[in-house]
């Protein structure tokens, strides 16, 4: 079964420059595993070392943010369209949490494998504000 996956600019180095690739899987986790078999390294940019979806990447199934669909357990069906976007975030905030974040390779930290407590707490704020 084919699921269309839209790849953001910053991750197209894993897809040979392709903006859209096809994959398969019953859940988002399965899909990412399937994609990684052909686009090695892609999964590692989206999932943390503890096996959760990275906080600073947004993944959508059709028109829904997967955070509201069970995250990596989000169910997929043939014909679904999955969109990956690096979250656009930042700001002057510069206490310990920022240091914790930036002590990791700044290169791709936006969607690299490490999250941070402050980032998570800010997510809470964002959700609450909806």
Partner 1 sequence: MLVLSIDRSIIDAIVAHARRDHPDEACGVVAGPVGSDTPTRHIPMDNAARSMTFYEFDSMEHLRVWREMDDRDEEPVVIYHSHTATEAYPSRTDVSFAGEPGAHYLLVSTREPDSEEIRSFRIVDGVVAEEPVQVVEAGVDPHAVQSYMFGQSPATVDYECSGR
Do residues 3 and 66 make contact, with C-beta atoms less than 8 angstroms apart? no
Among 15, 30, 34, 87, binds partner 1 (CB under 8 A): 87
Given the complex with partner 1, which of 1 and 89 has the nearer CB atom? 89
Among 56, 76, 80, 82, binds partner 1 (CB under 8 A): 56
d(CA 49, CA 77): 27
What is the β-pairing status of strands 81-86 and 3-6?
parallel
Given the complex with partner 1, which of 1 and 106 has the nearer CB atom? 106
CB of residue 51 to partner 1, shortest distance in Å? 21
Edge-first strand order for the sheet with 20-23 is 20-23, 3-6, 81-86, 57-61, 64-65
Q: Rule CB under 8 A: which residues touch partner 1?
A: 8-10, 56, 58, 60, 63, 65, 67, 83, 85-94, 98-99, 101-102, 104-111, 122, 125-126, 129-130
């Amino acid at each position: 079964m084919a699921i269309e996956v839209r790849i953001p600019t910053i991750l197209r180095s894993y897809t040979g420059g392709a903006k859209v690739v096809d994959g398969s899987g019953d859940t988002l986790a399965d899909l990412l595993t399937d994609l990684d078999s052909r686009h090695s390294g892609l999964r590692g940019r989206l999932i943390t070392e503890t096996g959760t979806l990275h906080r600073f990447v947004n993944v959508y199934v059709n028109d829904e943010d997967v955070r509201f669909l069970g995250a990596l357990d989000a169910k997929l069906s043939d014909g679904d369209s999955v969109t990956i976007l690096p979250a656009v975030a930042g700001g002057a905030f510069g206490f310990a949490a920022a240091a914790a974040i930036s002590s990791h390779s700044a290169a791709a930290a936006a969607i690299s494998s490490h999250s941070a407590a402050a980032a998570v707490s800010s997510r809470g704020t964002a959700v609450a504000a909806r």
